[in-house]
Amino acid sequence: MSSRILTEFDLLVPRDIPEALEILGSYREQVTTVAGGTDLLVAMKSGYRTPYAMSLAALPDLDYLSFHEKLGDENQGLRIGARTTVAQLLESEVVKECYPALWQAAKVFATSQIKNTATVVGNLLRGSPAGDCSCAVYALGGELLLASLGSERLVSVDDLWIAYGETACAANELALELRLPPPVKTSIFKRLTRTHEDLAKLNVAVNLTMDGDICRDVRLVMGCVGPTLMRLKKSEALLRNQRINDDVLTQVMECVREEITPIDDKRSTADYRRQVAGIFLKRAILQACEQA
Amino acid sequence: MISPVKRHEITLTVNGIEHQLSVASHKTLLELLRDQLGLTETKYGCGTGECGACTVLVEEPIQPGIKRLQPVLKRNAINSCLTLAVTMNSRSIITAAGLEQDGELHPVQQAFIDEAAIQCGYCTPGMVLKSVSLLEKNPNPSEAEIREGLEGNICRCTGYAKIVKAVQAASTSMVQYAGGEE
């Protein structure tokens, strides 16, 4: 199918959040929500369609990054609005300093034109197993604020991705904000691509909580190795409360090969992904350790 | 509740000229520029945000209360082929034809000519616009930064060497120009 043409659809451009929620409540599966649209428009040009689309372009005050530093404050952490772009992450000293994995993901994310338009929350809701910002966010941990008519709920990123392209955000819900926990400085994001601006063959994000040279807690996430981004819980268990040394890392490298379920696709083969997953994860863990 | 509609009335400023337009919901900004306004300097390449031929600059509105040292607005490069025209309501954009001032080419345009950084010319409008936004944000980029900045613009003729040279030359002349004005 031609990539040139968007076929006709009706567009709704709500001016405030209640109006947007009313639209979602009424049209549900019949309406597609467009934030940046960099991924969605490509999909729509190649055949994806719903009768209606709703743009968030006219919703005020959703393009923020707000950081609450105060210890013990229940709001402590970073809040990312529904229309905040990937470029905004890159320009933020707070993201660079306090959430390095997310900053690194934003850095290698697509091209600068796409970064200026694509939203962070949109990347999460795309539900791609290759999403770079999503991979970093999964490792950092956090919650997505979902609103519908008359109610709001928080969904942990651990429960967000259900299947390929499918998330916990229901048809009548609008994601308003991503909330990240207090600074996660010992975190790293890495990815493998053929050329720099490609989508990943494999990506990985590591979030370590160290106590001296003992790993107290860890979140390991790998992308492009299953239908959704994958938390490597068995590998995490090998690291928790252990001194990070060659023995442990060798066990992790063995374990991750068993844990992932990669497939062959146009960017890589399952064999290759299995082959490099271990060493790639090991390097990421060591790099994160250096930050600690 | 508002109803879904096939057309929207919007205001769009292109190269400083304000247009009142009736736009079909499914039209991209690129289609609006080329087909409705006849501004064909913005090119259609891939339609999927990979080649950058359709690049335009969007002027970000100055937020009230924020003091800016320079009167110049922040200008972000975007792919007009991936932007629904209706969503650009009340925004201001710049195309390659809007870069010249008082009949003088922009230093980046001049550098592309001087360095012969143009062969077939199809990528040039997008390449020039992206270079302008790159230099506005980083007046003295290294070669690596230029190559990274132009990642979203594909040229199938030049092999990029002359384009990189042109951006370096423009950087030098713009820094001198800015220095001379102070």
**Helix (H), strand (E) at residue B128:** helix B124-137
Size of interface A-B (CB pairs under 8 A): 116
Task: Using a pLDDT cut of 70, give the percent of chain B over it.
Answer: 90
A117 vs B89: CB contact, 8 Å cut-off? no
| pLDDT-derived band at A69, boundaries 50, 70, 90 | confident
Residues of B in contact with A83 (CB under 8 A): none
Task: Using a pLDDT cut of 90, give the percent of chain B over it.
Answer: 82
Range list of β-strands (E), chain B: 7-14, 17-24, 55-59, 75-79, 91-94
A11 vs B84: CB contact, 8 Å cut-off? yes
| Position B76, amino acid | N
| Residue with the larger pLDDT of the pair B63 and A205 | A205
pLDDT of residue B64: 46
Burial class (CB in 10 A: 0-12, 13-18, 19+), A191: buried
Rounded to whole angstroms, the Cα distance separating A169 from A174 reads 7
Quick check: B10 and B88 in contact, CB under 8 A? yes
Rounded to whole angstroms, the Cα distance separating A64 from A145 reads 14
Quick check: A168 and A159 in contact, CB under 8 A? yes
CB-CB neighbours of B102 under 10 Å: 4
Q: Dump pLDDT digits (tens) for A265-286.
A: 988 999 999 999 999 999 999 9
Rounded to whole angstroms, the Cα distance separating A194 from A269 reads 13
Quick check: B141 and B167 in contact, CB under 8 A? yes
CB-CB neighbours of A132 under 10 Å: 26
Residue B68 has pLDDT above 70, yes or no: no
pLDDT of residue B79: 98
Distance from CA of A112 to the nearest CA of B (A): 7
Quick check: helix, strand or coil at residue A21? helix
B89 vs A42: CB contact, 8 Å cut-off? no
Which residues have C-beta within 8 Å of that of residue A51, sequence separation ≥ 6? A9, A10, A27, A30, A31, B4
Q: Dump pLDDT digits (tens) for B102-122.
A: 999 999 999 999 999 999 999
Quick check: B42 and B51 in contact, CB under 8 A? no
Residue B72 has pLDDT above 80, yes or no: no
Q: What is the largest CA-CA distance in chain B?
A: 56
Q: From residue B12, how far is each of A11, A117, A145, B45, B93 by CA, in Å?
A: 18, 18, 33, 23, 8
- Cβ-nearest to B2 among A19, A38, A45: A19
Residue B65 has pLDDT above 70, yes or no: no
Q: Which DSSP letter does residue A25 get? A: H
A114 vs B152: CB contact, 8 Å cut-off? yes
Q: From residue A259, how far is each of A141, A232, A269 by CA, in Å?
A: 20, 7, 16
pLDDT of residue A75: 78
pLDDT of residue A58: 95
Residue B180 has pLDDT above 70, yes or no: no
Q: Dump pLDDT digits (tens) for A162-198.
A: 999 999 999 999 999 999 999 888 999 999 887 777 8
Length of chain A equals: 292
Comparing CA positions, the residue from B52, B100, B95, B92 lying closest to residue B73 is: B92
Residue B4 has pLDDT above 90, yes or no: no
Residues of B in contact with A25 (CB under 8 A): none
Radius of gyration of chain B (CA): 17
Q: What is the mean pLDDT of chain A?
A: 94
Residue B70 has pLDDT above 60, yes or no: no
Which residues have C-beta within 8 Å of that of residue B3, sequence separation ≥ 6? A12
Task: Using a pLDDT cut of 90, give the percent of chain A over it.
Answer: 86
Residues of B in contact with A17 (CB under 8 A): none
| pLDDT-derived band at B177, boundaries 50, 70, 90 | low
pLDDT of residue B62: 54
pTM, full prediction: 0.94
Rounded to whole angstroms, the Cα distance separating B136 from B74 reads 8
Q: Dump pLDDT digits (tens) for A10-68.
A: 999 999 999 999 999 999 999 999 999 999 999 999 989 899 999 999 999 999 999 98
Q: Tell me what the mean pLDDT of segment B36-51 comes to.
A: 96
Residue B67 has pLDDT above 70, yes or no: no
Residue appearing with tokens 């959040």: A17
pLDDT of residue A184: 81
pLDDT of residue B73: 62
Q: Dump pLDDT digits (tens) for A89-103.
A: 999 999 999 999 999
Please spell the DSSP secondary structure of A128-139, one letter per residue.
-TT-HHHHHHHH
Quick check: B128 and B99 in contact, CB under 8 A? yes
Residues of B in contact with A86 (CB under 8 A): none
Quick check: helix, strand or coil at residue B28? strand
pLDDT of residue B66: 44
Which residues have C-beta within 8 Å of that of residue B176, sequence separation ≥ 6? none
B77 vs A45: CB contact, 8 Å cut-off? no
Q: Are strands A174-180 and A187-192 parallel, antiparallel or unpaired?
A: unpaired
- CB of B160 within 8 Å of a chain A CB? The answer is no
- b/e code A135-144 from CB counts within 10 Å (16+ = b): bbbbbbbbbb
